[in-house]
A and B are shown apart, each in its own frame.
Chain A
């Protein structure tokens, strides 16, 4: 009896506040916009289920599919997320590798130093880059003083700024799982490879890298999935030409006040992300099983 109560409390909470809302989003995505409160029609009416259901349709989805703005925003978000995930991996790998090889007594401190920026506000860290990247910002000032460039670079409000923002903000999410898998590798394996005449770079590709793959996968998912729906970074660092679906959804909701279309945008985004999310969970469970 007590056992069921214990299970029920967190379970019900998540069902009511996390699962049910998705069904509501889906329902509203089938509604029409209305100048009413709430701004969609029909609202749910228990006495007239038939009439309620007959008013629902897939119009909003047809609208999204036909308007190239939305289609482009999905593709461009996926592209930006994929490229930044790759860059994050390339930046994070040497750092995690170095951390795993650092003297044992340094490692907790190094891990702490990677986690610390993650605890500091995301918004503030993105904001910090505005001061650095803008035309009269610190980076341009620094480079011009050094004489590297004579004209200020335009980085702010371009896709480059968005890439920098994503790589910077999500870097700890990549470093930590990479470090966790690199740190577990038994050094005897590398010794064995060296004894058998394998040069270090070959040992790296044939021993270290394959063994770190679970960490690579976990890190890539942890960056790719949220980056695809990212709103703050493209909004603050990107310009008008940087299209990302998270920003489109936000605008549709807050600026256009079109709740049904923004719900449809959210449903499609969720469908796009279902595959990576399920793959990620599988990967995590496999690792947990392996650890036990």
Chain B
């Protein structure tokens, strides 16, 4: 009865065209020989060459990459703990506030989060720079990480953990040897999500940063305000390429991991019967 009509196919096609054409045009025009962004002057990779000469952009890219790696690692650790607290700790005083604190950063306008972080750093006298951006990014990404891991914790079979405990495993052993391998795919996607959120963020980083810690989005933003340049198209293309590759690799490997897990669980089930 669920028929896939022409109307359905057309809406999907148009929708995806709308989502992807702007990105495709950006990528195509990064290979444009001409300095004028909208005039096609033939294929060329010269803007990528120019990028390698551009100290400012290279430095910013390096800062961004370091911030993203450190903050997403921190975010995943905190986010996984938060997810376990939400799913496994039952009721405790202050639980409502806690789930509100996990939830609010997901929708909070960035200008508010950014401003409040900055005012905190100033109030406690923390020098602004690399670490303040890391803290700011870890704080909002941990909430995204918590949501991703939480979803996985909800639908996995708690009896596996109980079995491990019955067989004499300590809670820490149980977590490391049973729980963590099961939720690993979601922890990896949470890390990836936190990483791209950090890579992408302009507003919060602008507030939280200090001298010497200009991130790539800040650099891109300041140049974009002056107009569209083929160099920015080239940086953007590299970033899009990296993120796409990362997402595809991660989704492929988590798919394989969960297939393997399913096979193993089936084998165990068959053995039990």
Contacts and interface: CB of A to CB of B under 8 A. Distances in A.
B79 to A, nearest CB: 8
Contacts of A138: 25, 38
A112 interface: yes
A127 B115 contact: no
B8 interface: yes
A173 to B, nearest CB: 10
Interface in B86-125: 89, 92, 94, 98, 100-105, 107-113, 115-117, 119-120, 122-123
A11 interface: yes
A176 B200 CA distance: 21
B58 interface: no
A221 B107 contact: yes
Determine the interface band of chain A, counting residues with CB < 8 A from chain B. 35 or more
Contacts of A11: 85, 94, 98, 101
Interface string B1-22: 1111101111110111011101
Nearest to B246: A119
Contacts of B84: 6
Contacts of B108: 225-226, 229, 277
B81 A6 contact: yes
B26 A127 contact: yes
A266 B240 contact: no
Interface in B109-166: 109-113, 115-117, 119-120, 122-123, 135-136, 139, 142-143, 146
Interface string A1-30: 011001101110111011111101100100
A187 B236 contact: no
Contacts of B119: 21, 24-25, 28, 259, 263
A197 interface: no
Nearest to A5: B81
B65 to A, nearest CB: 14
A73 interface: no
Chain B, interface size: which category?
A: 35 or more
A103 to B, nearest CB: 6
A121 interface: yes
Nearest to B244: A116
A157 to B, nearest CB: 12
A230 B199 contact: no
Contacts of B239: 120-121, 124
Given A98-B9, A123-B200, A259-B119, A17 B139 contact: yes
A114 interface: yes
B203 A129 contact: no
Contacts of A228: 109
A159 to B, nearest CB: 19
A98 B8 contact: yes
Contact of B19 (A17, A112, A171): A171
Q: Which 10 A-B pairs have the closest CB atoms?
A: A229-B109, A21-B116, A95-B15, A98-B8, A94-B11, A10-B82, A128-B22, A21-B120, A14-B101, A128-B26
15 contacts: A11-B98, A95-B11, A98-B12, A99-B12, A101-B3, A113-B19, A119-B196, A119-B244, A124-B239, A127-B228, A131-B38, A190-B1, A229-B108, A229-B112, A266-B115
Given A119-B243, A137-B38, A277-B107, 18 more contacts: A2-B171, A7-B89, A10-B82, A11-B94, A25-B119, A44-B123, A95-B11, A95-B12, A102-B12, A119-B196, A127-B26, A128-B236, A225-B108, A229-B111, A269-B112, A277-B108, A281-B100, A281-B103
